[in-house]
A and B are shown apart, each in its own frame.
Chain A
Amino acid sequence: MGLRFILLVLLSIALMVLDYREHYLTPVRNLLTGIVAPIQYAVNVPIQFINDTSSHLSSRQTLLSENTTLRANQLLMEAKLQKLIALENENTQLRALLTSSTRSDNEHITVAQLLAVSTDPLMSEVVLDKGQNDEVYVGQPVLDASGIMGQIAQVGPFTSRVLLLSDPRSAIPVQAVRNGIRGIVLGKGALGNLALTDIPITVDIRVGDILVSSGLGGHYPEGYPVGVVSRVRHDQGGQFAAIEVIPSAQLDRNQPVLLIWPTNKNLSIDAPAIQSEHKALIKPHHADERKE
């Protein structure tokens, strides 16, 4: 028993070192993620079932009123979209006139669902129902309807793991919409509270400033909302301001999320899809549909 104990402890430590320091164990980890996926789906099914049933049981009146609001919203969105397409064209033309490097906005997007399972309470991660089979890759940006949620940290065969912006290991380059000041937003471990760091106290950042992703670093796409500045504190004698940010995305809700395949990731599989116009419109994800 004693010998076996020592062996297993050494084995665990070796695993941790190999996994964390060297990342040698990615295949093992992916295999393990595949093995536990049935457990996660098994937990998810009854909870989704309860959600679905409760929506079946909602009254006709609520459904009708919801339908009306959604229709109104859709009309509004379509109107905005028309304007956006016009602006996009104009923008491309202007950029062509300036002969500057073109910035393509035709990202490919697909919708994924959060699995209703809990992860380690000490980490800010969620599990998605899309994995390797859907060409999800590590580092891929994840959004919800109102902003950036985080990036894919690990991909299994049928599931993947999202590192939320609120995780202490997460950092995202941002710029303020009002004046273009750039900075980096870090997670602090609390879901509703991020930190904008390394901003000198002399720089003009105010409460209410909207921060969008700057696209620097080439990881996250440019121009998506990240958060709103909620508090700016200037410590006496400090060189940098302590700035708190409320994330735009709802990190604590169980909602459909969007996976983006940005154009600057030169993924060969997506090359034909990127060429076709207005791929930013959300489409259901089918491999054949993308290879038009």
Chain B
Amino acid sequence: MQSLSPRGMLVITLSLLLALVLSVLPLPKWALLFYPQWLPLVLLYWAIALPHRVSLGVAWLLGLLLDGLYGTVLGEHALALTVITFVAGKLYRQIRMFPILQQAFSMMMLIVLYQVILMWIQGIMGSLQDVRWFWVSAVVSMLFWPWVYTILRSCRRRFSVY
């Protein structure tokens, strides 16, 4: 396995950093409901496209950063991101073969899993609030998947990140 070119590293890091920035954009509470889960989307793309580059360690560190940004208990987002990256890493061969709509649907299922883990942990901590509409964000994320996929794939090809 040859090592990642510095340019490739830069592309991956920048895209993940951009996803982090997008996930802390200030929005009113009602709009947050319709806001896609940027970090899981971008992370899942890399986990499926380059499973040997972006895998569990990266997911865990990103989750820890997200915990710092959101002020949640340390390890919460880290655990959730690690779990979905693990599942994506097991299934990446199938998911790559899926047509784009089916891919988007599997992304939605993974993001629902991500959110359920988060809510489960917050429930244990006793700080869970109204979660009736949590799935809306997962559906919006699904609608965003084709765009995320296309943009990141063209980036990956143009800068030949393998």
Contact = CB atoms under 8 A, between A and B. Distances in A.
Q: Sorted from nearest, which 7 A-B pairs have the closest CB atoms?
A: A15-B75, A12-B79, A189-B129, A32-B68, A12-B75, A120-B70, A16-B75
B141 interface: no
Contacts of A18: 74
Contacts of B83: 9
13 contacts: A1-B89, A4-B56, A12-B78, A13-B79, A14-B75, A16-B121, A25-B74, A119-B71, A120-B71, A122-B129, A122-B131, A125-B71, A154-B71
Contact of B26 (A8, A12, A39, A117): A117
Interface stretch (B5-13, B27-35, B103-111, B146-154): B27-35
B4 interface: no
Given A9-B83, A19-B75, A122 B57 contact: no
Contact of A120 (B72, B82, B89): B72
A4 B29 CA distance: 37
Interface string B28-65: 11001100000000000000000000011100100111
A32 B75 contact: no
Nearest to A161: B71
Interface stretch (A40-48, A79-87, A201-209, A230-238): A40-48
A269 to B, nearest CB: 26
A135 B72 CA distance: 23
Nearest to A18: B74
Give chain A's interface residue range (CB within 8 Å of chain B). 35 or more
Contact of B25 (A25, A43, A125): A43
A29 interface: yes
Contact of B122 (A14, A43, A47, A122): A122
B127 A123 contact: yes
B91 interface: no
Candidate in A43, A116, A125 with the most chain B CB atoms within 10 angstroms = A43
Do most interface residues of chain B lie in helix, strand or loop, or is the interface mixed?
helix
A123 B24 contact: no
Given A32-B68, A119-B70, A43 B79 contact: no
A77 interface: no
Given A43-B21, A118-B27, A252-B28, A16 B79 contact: yes
A272 interface: no
B119 A122 contact: yes
B76 A36 contact: no
B75 A122 contact: no
Contacts of A120: 70-72
Nearest to B22: A43
B48 to A, nearest CB: 14
A4 B85 CA distance: 12
A33 interface: yes
A267 interface: no
Contacts of B129: 122-123, 168, 189
A233 B63 CA distance: 43
A123 B72 contact: yes
Nearest to A168: B127
Given A32-B64, A119-B70, 4 more contacts: A4-B57, A12-B60, A36-B69, A118-B27
A118 B82 contact: no
Interface string A1-41: 10011001101111110111000010011001101100110
